[in-house]
Amino acid sequence: MQLQFLGTGAGTPSRERNVTSIVLDLQGVRNATWLFDCGEGTQHQILRTPIKPGKIEKIFITHLHGDHIFGLPGLLTSRSMNGSGDPLTLYGPAGIKTFVETAISLSGSWLTFPLEIVEITAGEVCNDEQFRVTAYPLTHPVECYGYRIDEHDKPGALNAEKLAADNVPAGPYFYDLKHGRSVTLDDGRVINGWDYVGDKIPGRSLAIFGDTAPTERATELAAGVDVMVHEATLEVAMEEKANSRGHSTTAQAAKVAQESGAKRLIITHLSSRYLRADCERLLKECQAIFPHTEMAHDFAVFNL
């Protein structure tokens, strides 16, 4: 799987950073992508990547501030104009349904694909054969959530030596054995798959925060994740200003990663006051607390 950042700025676009949007490419798991937030200009950013809008399966919105949702109507209608018929599910706080339906209606637009809009609250958002997504409330002037994505554990490998020792011939029932099911062999024996399967392979985990000031729920959201994505809107010296507006500093993001036991931190959502020349200094503020910190830039790709 990969994370690709389409926009890494806060509030307004700048020459160096567009506003927030992140793509989770599920390559290696299934042929689909998920989008987290959709700020203005997101579809223009997509045009500069290999991402195909028709392959976007789900969109998760953290909150309804414009720099996180103003790109939605354009992306959805362009997806239709390109002829996509694949269904798409949109998740977001209360009001997201009214926003999207009003924009489409008043602009005389239409959709060629089934769109399901789910207005979320804290708790499980969706759960399928491969992933579970949970929303956690954050601290921001408007209702805002962070999303935790947990990949389900995968079955361990079949023990070929034990199968051979027990004279279990190869066959299509190996699929059932690998998933722990009981099967009946041609000679009448009934065997239990769990007797031949190794330890489960732990799934990967990811926490994507929306905008937030420090909050008690942060460490629960990011507990033990492989990758944590957190805003770092302002530098350490501007903590009071950041927190008063529902945002975090570099050091506060790093502290969450440290306290939650995250393995890796990627910071994003930087104020437009910062230029590329400032980035090394901001990154070092994080790394002084949590060394495994990286900074996202527009179009940066991170492997999970």
Of 43, 57, 72, nearest to 114 by C-alpha is 57
Spatial CA neighbour of 104 closest among 83, 84, 79? 79
CB under 8 Å to 24, separation ≥6 — which residues?
1, 2, 3, 33, 34, 35, 36, 149, 206
Q: Is 67 annotated as a binding residue?
A: yes
Catalytic residue among 67, 86, 150, 187: 67
Q: Is 175 left (phi over 0), alpha (psi -120 to 50) or beta?
A: alpha
Instruction: Please indicate if the annotation marks 65 as binding a ligand.
Output: yes
Q: Is 230 annotated as a binding residue?
A: no
Minimal CA–CA distance to 250: which of 267, 262, 263? 267
- Is 63 known to sit in a ligand binding site? yes
Contact partners, residue 140, CB within 8 Å, separation at least 6: 63, 210, 211, 212, 213, 246
Instruction: Yes or no: say if 247 and 212 are a contact pair by the CB < 8 Å rule.
Output: yes
Residue 298 annotated as catalytic: no
- The answer to whether the annotation marks 152 as part of a ligand binding site is no
Q: Which residues are catalytic?
A: 67
Binding residues for Zn(2+): 63, 65, 67-68, 140, 211, 269
Binding residues: 63, 65, 67-68, 140, 211, 269
